[in-house]
Chains A and B, each alone.
Chain A
Amino acid sequence: MDYILSGLIQAFELLFQGNPETYSAVKTTVFASSLSVGASMLIGAPLGFCLGYARFPGARPIRVVVDTMLSLPTVVIGLLCYAFMSHRGPLGDLGLLFTIPGMAIGQTILGLPIVVALTASAVENLDHRLKQTLLTLGAEPHQLLLTSLWEARFALALAGAAAYGRIVSEVGISMMIGGNIKWHTRTITTAIAMETGKGQFAVGIALGLILITLALLVNLAMSGLKRLSGQ
């Protein structure tokens, strides 16, 4: 037990003394996950809206594929991205491997199904009177779409928060695509895995505390959003 306790004490020392290596991992994590959540929302929200709003042949199979992708293991995404981004892969010339943009692409693939599925559900669950109300007030088709999306804004933000929670805590993609390079692509999760392997519990615990704080903030945001959306 002693080594856990001393690890915890050292962790607080590292955090409060502003250990540069620790904060480099935090910075990389926040930057990469923010990039990927932004991309997931930009691509996923319109797709989810179409999937939840429009009735078209093939919508149900697409929904099944999206729902299946919700449980896609991060190492599988990491493996596929690695295959595409390595020198022998079709995207090899772009030099994305072992970079933050490369990690963000992989994490976007992780967050996208979450955003699409939750947006589609939110749009499906919009009040059935909304469309009639907008039409009778004189909305044109594009105004109907934009207002409906705005009416689902809390649920959309909830989708973003859920995607952020999943992305910020993943390790497989960051490790395989980022390569855990110190001062460059090392994230909180890859650092925890490495430091624990080296027996450096203090750094691991310090980073773990930050990760838990981030997860707590995301959860608080989600419960607030749920309250606002009336769920």
Chain B
Amino acid sequence: MKERLYHLKNLTQVYGDRTVLDVDRLDIQIGTITGLIGPNGSGKSTLMRILALLEKPAAGQITFQGQPLTKVPLDLRRQVTMLSQEPYLLKRSVQANVSYGLKLRGISDTRQQVSRALEKVGLDPKRFAQRSWRELSGGEAQRVALAARLVLKPQVLLLDEPTASVDRETSGLIRHAALDARNRWGTTLIIISHQLTWLRQIADRILSMDYGRLTPVH
């Protein structure tokens, strides 16, 4: 039995007078890949933001590595990173974008790590590292943003619709990079996708979300 990373119990999130999330119980084990499907507005992204420690729930219990959400220290918070559906790139070069998280952690010599991360997402460092953010296509920007997360070797990687606006080849690269992260560093992944077939190729289990409630998909 793998160790428990997240534990959610009776968790609700409310925006205005609308309950957008109502999770009775959810446990996520270390090193697993959890897929999340569901219609737009069903609460998937809200759940991801809570798991990314970016948002506090209105009520309920959530622990990360046994610690309540409110008491998660910075070094633990830095083990969790999320890639949103439309990732934002800093107005800098690709190299500066990918190395940003490392620099926040006080790592100054980042060139090799950045090169390796770019290679993982199928971008040639020699061609792309010095490019400006404005010289990238949508798919390339998505891959650079993923490289910026992978370079951190995160313990938790949350991917919100990572294949929504990319071609088939990039979709395959993202799947490969995600699996590689799990196999090499034991990264726990939670992935939202509308592509059930793609999700089945990668996830250990798939959950469906509708009206803020979770049900397993068999």
Is A137 at the interface (CB under 8 A from chain B)? Answer: yes
Question: What sequence of 0s and 1s flags, for each residue 182-212 of chain B, a beta carbon within 8 Å of any chain A beta carbon?
Answer: 0000000000000000000000000000000
Interface residue? B101 (CB, 8 A):
yes
Interface residues of B, count at CB 8 A: 22
Cβ contacts under 8 Å, B81 to chain A: 136-138
B104 contacts the other chain (Cβ, under 8 Å)? yes
Contact B90 A151 (CB under 8 A): yes
Quick check: is B1 within 8 A (CB to CB) of the other chain?
A: no
- Which chain A residue has the least Cβ–Cβ distance from B100? A137
B217 contacts partner chain A, Cβ-Cβ < 8 Å:
no
Minimum CB distance partner of B105 in chain A: A138
Contact partners of A132 in chain B: CB under 8 A: 49, 54, 82, 84, 88
Contact B74 A151 (CB under 8 A): no
Compute how far the CA of A135 lies from the CA of B86 in the bound complex, rounded to whole angstroms.
16
**Would you list which residues of chain B between 103 and 152 have a CB under 8 Å from chain A?**
104-105, 148-149, 152
Convert B74-89 into 0s and 1s, putting 1 for each residue whose CB lies closer than 8 angstroms to a CB of A.
1001101110101110
CA A136 to CA B81, docked complex, whole Å: 5
Indicate if the CB atoms of B105 and A129 lie closer than 8 Å.
no
With a CB–CB cut-off of 8 A, which chain A residues contact B80? 136
Give the residue of A138, A143, A154 whose beta carbon is less than 8 angstroms from that of B152: A138
Asked whether, in the complex, the Cβ of B91 is within 8 Å of the Cβ of A151, the reply is yes
Q: Is the CB of A138 within 8 A of B78?
A: yes
Residues of B within 8 A of A153 (CB): 91
Contact of A135 among B54, B87, B91, B100 (CB under 8 A): B54
Contact of A129 among B77, B88, B100, B104 (CB under 8 A): B88
In the bound assembly, the distance between CA atoms of A120 and B148 in angstroms comes to 29
Residue A43, interface by CB 8 Å: no
B52 close to A (CB within 8 Å): yes
> When the two chains form the complex, which single residue of A129, A130, A137, A151 contacts B86, counting CB atoms closer than 8 Å?
A129
Q: Is A127 an interface residue (CB 8 A)?
A: yes
CA distance A151 to B89 in the complex (A): 10
Q: If the complex has contacts A135-B54, A136-B54, are A129 and B87 also in contact, measured as CB distance less than 8 A?
A: yes
For A72, the chain B residues whose CB sits under 8 A away are none
Residue A133 lies at the interface, judged by CB distance under 8 Å to chain B: yes
Indicate if A140 sits at the interface (CB-CB under 8 A): yes
User: Which one of B74, B80, B86, B100 has the highest number of Cβ atoms from chain A below 10 Å of its Cβ?
Assistant: B100
Produce 1/0 per residue, A108-138, CB < 8 A to B.
0000000000000000000101101101111
Q: In the complex, are the beta carbons of B152 and A137 less than 8 A apart?
A: yes
Q: With the chains together, A28 CA to B98 CA distance in Å?
A: 46
Q: Is A5 an interface residue (CB 8 A)?
A: no
For residue A129, give the distance in angstroms from its CB to the closest CB of chain B: 4
Q: How far is the CB of A197 from chain B (nearest CB, A)?
A: 49
Which residues of B are found within 8 Å of A129, using beta-carbon distances? 84, 86-88
Shortest Cβ distance from A143 into B: residue: B104
Which B residues are CB-close (under 8 A) to A151? 90-91
Within the complex, the shortest CB–CB distance from B174 to chain A, in Å, comes to 17
- Asked if B104 and A133 make an inter-chain contact with CB atoms under 8 angstroms apart, the answer reads no
A residues less than 8 Å from B90 (CB atoms): 133, 147, 151
Q: Is A139 engaged at the interface, CB distance under 8 Å to the other chain?
A: yes
CB <8 Å contact, B88 and A133: yes
Of the listed residues A135, A140, A143, the one surrounded by the most CB atoms of chain B closer than 10 A to its CB is A135
A140 to B77 CA separation, bound complex (whole angstroms): 10
A66 to B74 alpha-carbon distance, docked (Å)? 37
Once the chains are docked, how many angstroms separate the CA of A153 from the CA of B101? Answer: 20
- A137 proximity list for chain B (CB < 8 A): 81, 100-101, 104, 148-149, 152
Give the contacting residue for B104; candidates A127, A139, A154; CB below 8 A: A139
Contacts A132-B82, A133-B90, A137-B148 known; 11 new A-B pairs at CB < 8 A: A129-B86, A129-B88, A133-B87, A135-B54, A137-B100, A137-B101, A137-B149, A137-B152, A139-B104, A140-B104, A143-B104
What are the 3 A-B residue pairs with the smallest beta carbon separation, nearest first? A129-B88, A138-B78, A137-B101
A interface with B by C-beta (< 8 Å):
127, 129-130, 132-133, 135-140, 143, 147, 151, 153-154
Would you give 5 A-B contacts (Cβ < 8 Å), ordered by A? A132-B88, A139-B104, A147-B90, A147-B100, A154-B91
